[in-house]
């Protein structure tokens, strides 16, 4: 999964800096970080909405609305 791989790399960079390894932070790196976090947030939200839709659909079927 690309999201998991990108998150792993992000975690590695954070760990390296925490251990004292410094590296240049470029605009493209900031953009990549922003894109990763936005993607992770949207992934979680979409999964939540799909799960909720399925839950509501099952309730509607159970009470005869569908």
- Which of 66, 7, 5 has the alpha carbon at shortest distance from 36? 7
Q: Which listed residue (12, 16, 31, 49) is catalytic?
A: 31
- How does DSSP assign 11-27, residue by residue? HHHHHHHHTT---PPPH
CB atoms within 10 A of CB 56: 12
Active site residue 31: yes
Residues marked active site are found at: 31
């Amino acid at each position: 999964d690309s999201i998991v791989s990108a998150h792993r790399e992000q975690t590695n960079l954070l760990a390296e800096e925490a251990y004292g390894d410094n590296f240049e932070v470029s605009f493209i790196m900031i953009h990549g970080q922003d894109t990763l976090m936005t993607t992770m947030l949207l992934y979680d939200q979409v999964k939540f909405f799909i799960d909720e839709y399925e839950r509501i659909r099952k309730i509607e079927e159970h009470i005869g609305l569908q």
